[in-house]
A and B are shown apart, each in its own frame.
Chain A
Amino acid sequence: MGTNHSHTKVHFPEPLKKSALLAAVFFCILFSLAGCLDLPDDPETGNKIERISLTISQPGTADSSPLKIHPGDSATLVANVYPQQFRDEIAIQWFYIDAQIKKNLGKGLTYGIAKNFTLLPNYFVATDKEGNELAEAFEIIVNSPPKLSETTIPANGDTLWGSQNMAFLFQWKSTDIDVALGMDSLRHSLQIDGDNYPVGPLTHVMQSGFSAGKHSFRVIVEDARGDTDTLGMRTFYVYEKVGGQP
């Protein structure tokens, strides 16, 4: 007995086959491109804040990267948030911390330091709106700048008598409260007729080599913290002395 097998074939129309194939290829390309895209993270979990840096500004001085202030001057401690568009999303809490106490000094991106401050912040905690915290210790250096007295030898306009080899006294006076407390050191630089003579802590030297005529000098003092003071240029006149008499 014979068996009849009947095979049923579904025949798509030719245009339909081509369009389905194209659609599949297109879909695959689209899917690949979509997979290659670097989709941004969820805003709620993204790391938006790159860094927070502190600067100090005082009247008459630019922001200082070493956190240094002069005593007796008011100052403003500023927390700089990068990128800056997120600065409003950060809350800064300022603290003073030592072995005994932890005192909350205030809140805000800036902290005003009064002239007669008693405590300076040395620790901050930054908090974003999701409650993430970043804490960091820092130190504000209180440095008294050096000061040069206006009185010098020779004084401005002085006349000195002597030959070219005669050594003349150059003397000045510099003060720095921190040096007196043993917390700092001073370096001086004597500039005579444009030549620079680093003399370290010396405040008087004798120098020769002055021909008859007009000469000038000035003194610059710098402390170990980088604060300086400069005297205005002094002028003196040298006259040749022959046979012991002017």
Chain B
Amino acid sequence: MRMQPSAYAIFAIFFTVLALVACTDSDDYIFDEDDKAVIEVKAEMTHFYNSFYNENPEETSFFAPLDGEDERVKSDTVFSSDTLVFIGTVNGPQPIRLQSYGWTLDNTYLANEYIFRSPIVDPGFHEVVFSVVDFFGDTLSDTLKVWVSNSPILDTINVIPADQSQGLPSQGGIRFAWNGYDPDSLARVDYRFILEDSRRQTIIDTLIHNPYFTLHQRLNSLSRYTWFVYAINEYDFGAREVIRKQFFTKGADDESGLLLQFDFNTMAWSFEGDVSIDILDTNNLPITSKTISMKDRDSYNFIQALFAPLSPGKYKVFASTPQYPDFKADTVKVQLKTQEVFVADTIHLLDTIPPTITILNAENDSISIDTLDFADTLKFIIHDGGGLADSSYIDRFMNATLDNVTSLKIESRNISQSLFDTLLVFLPEADKSWNTRLLHLTVADLSKNVAHRTLYIRPAKPWPFDNNDMEGK
């Protein structure tokens, strides 16, 4: 019997398959647990703050967030204006072949990148999922949780009582009301209410859940108080606005008050003197007076003085600083109304008098000359009635050139209850010259009043005449 050609073909295919199978180690296709490769899929995020908090860190409210910028997290609460950076990683012991990867936001497509930036603008809770499908079709994923919110809003205009309100009751019962809300209508808004007296001492500091507050505490009559409101939502996001308003309590029917506030045109806050204040009537007859220590200035470096009660009417205010006679106050005329506290907060104590520079001779007597012999040390007395600055406010010019070589020393001493400074000018050896030279001194006081003094420095004597050892020989 003869085989048909088709039978030959079948045998050929059969033996070929048999050969291929024989060449294959079937053990390679048996699952071995030791050979397993664990693939780790990780999703993380970080975020950039919105521009307001980056550019105005000092202007953010009390509740500004303090998170780190580069911190990678699995869950976070962010502003809708924040830009989020999503980072997806796939780790394994060997190169991993993936069919696909991508991100979803609340089960909707978001991106097909490992790392990308995107804001989430819709307020509320969101789930961001990073998913990969590996070579075998298995899906692996990791989930991020994001709460998106916006800052609460505070109306700083329409508040009760309005700023600078007068005549509020001092026996308690002041009602405060304002308007605050969450723009997303999702988060609860709480408030921090603070009440301070005129010396910035805290009277009330409390957290409340409603935009109103009733003060039952008694206050001083005819006094000024400041109230603050901060808003924060349940995600710890604070309002950018802060309510800061002042009010005054009332006195009796025929009483008024006068609140004076001084400042200086100077850096003289190291002073420890007094400010003397006199209240005169329109006929310049003294009504009352008060002395305030400069140590009692408030945290804004203002000195305040409250005169209450006073009868309604017109008055003059004089202020002076006995220890610093250079400071002169403007004469302020005020008119007081019944049950109101008049605030004079623009009283400036001005020092417009520059220091004086006096030359001392070898016997420490002041002399009125403008020519000095060259010497290693030149002595000057510098006096100012408003406070002298240190040597950094003294410049010296040699022949019209700013001299940074000549060294200075200031020694303070009291003469007749006044503070005088002895200025020692040490001329370097290199300044010895055969010519007359010009020494120009510039001295500024703490109020930046400047005094100038120009002196001729006679040339040093030639060596034979300057050698004391030669004299008398």
A interface residues (Cβ-Cβ under 8 A, vs B): 162-163, 165-167, 190, 195-202, 204-209, 241-245
Contact = CB atoms under 8 A, between A and B. Distances in A.
A163 B160 contact: no
Given A165-B164, A197-B177, A199-B175, 19 more contacts: A162-B167, A163-B340, A166-B166, A166-B339, A166-B340, A167-B161, A190-B160, A196-B158, A200-B177, A202-B214, A205-B161, A207-B160, A208-B165, A209-B162, A241-B337, A241-B338, A243-B312, A244-B254, A244-B337
Contact of A165 (B165, B177, B335): B165
Contacts of B313: 243-244
A190 B247 CA distance: 20
B211 A206 contact: no
A204 B312 CA distance: 28
15 contacts: A162-B166, A163-B337, A165-B248, A166-B166, A167-B168, A197-B158, A198-B177, A202-B177, A206-B168, A206-B169, A207-B162, A208-B161, A208-B165, A208-B166, A245-B338
Given A167-B168, A207-B162, A243-B313, A197 B338 contact: no
Given A197-B158, A198-B211, A200-B211, A207 B335 contact: no
Contacts of A190: 160
Given A197-B158, A202-B212, A243-B313, A163 B177 contact: no
B212 A199 contact: yes
B179 A198 contact: yes
B158 A195 contact: yes
B210 interface: yes
Nearest to B311: A244
Interface size class of B (residues with CB under 8 A): 20 to 34
B256 interface: yes
A244 B165 contact: no
A201 B166 CA distance: 24
Contacts of B311: 244
A167 B175 contact: no
A208 B161 CA distance: 7
A179 to B, nearest CB: 16
Contacts of B210: 200
Contacts, number: 89
Contacts of B337: 163, 241-244
A209 B177 CA distance: 15
Contacts of B165: 165-167, 206-209
Contacts of B175: 199, 202, 204-206
Nearest to A204: B175
Interface of B: 158-162, 164-169, 174-175, 177, 179, 210-212, 214, 247-248, 254, 256, 311-313, 335, 337-340
Nearest to B181: A198
Contacts of B254: 244
A205 to B, nearest CB: 5
Contacts of A166: 165-167, 339-340
Interface of A is mostly: strand
Contacts of A198: 177, 179, 211
B203 to A, nearest CB: 18
Contacts of A199: 160, 175, 177, 212
Contact of B338 (A165, A195, A196, A244): A244
B215 to A, nearest CB: 12
A152 B135 CA distance: 79
Contacts of B256: 244
> Ordered nearest first, which 10 A-B pairs have the shortest CB separation?
A244-B338, A244-B312, A208-B165, A167-B165, A209-B162, A199-B177, A200-B212, A165-B166, A205-B175, A205-B160
Contacts of B167: 162, 166-167, 206, 208
A167 B247 contact: yes
A101 B443 CA distance: 101
Contacts of A241: 337-338
Contacts of A208: 161-162, 164-167
A243 B335 contact: yes
Nearest to A202: B175
B212 A206 contact: no
A190 B179 CA distance: 12
A100 to B, nearest CB: 39
A126 to B, nearest CB: 36
A164 to B, nearest CB: 9
A242 B340 CA distance: 11
Contacts of A167: 161-162, 165-168, 247
Given A199-B160, A243-B313, A205 B168 contact: no
A166 B250 CA distance: 10
A208 B164 CA distance: 8
Nearest to A243: B312
Contacts of B212: 199-202
Contact of A206 (B158, B159, B164, B174): B174
A205 B338 CA distance: 21
Counting chain A CB atoms within 10 Å of each CB, the highest count among B168, B210, B313, B338 belongs to B338
Nearest to A196: B158
A152 B162 CA distance: 20
B256 to A, nearest CB: 7
A169 to B, nearest CB: 9
Contacts of B160: 190, 197, 199, 205-207
Given A200-B210, A208-B165, A243-B312, A165 B340 contact: yes
Counting chain B CB atoms within 10 Å of each CB, the highest count among A165, A195, A200, A241 belongs to A165
Nearest to B254: A244
B35 to A, nearest CB: 57
Nearest to A246: B338
A206 B338 contact: no
Contacts of A244: 254, 256, 311-313, 337-338
A85 B177 CA distance: 54
Contacts of B174: 206
A98 to B, nearest CB: 34
Nearest to B212: A200
Contacts of A197: 158-160, 177, 179
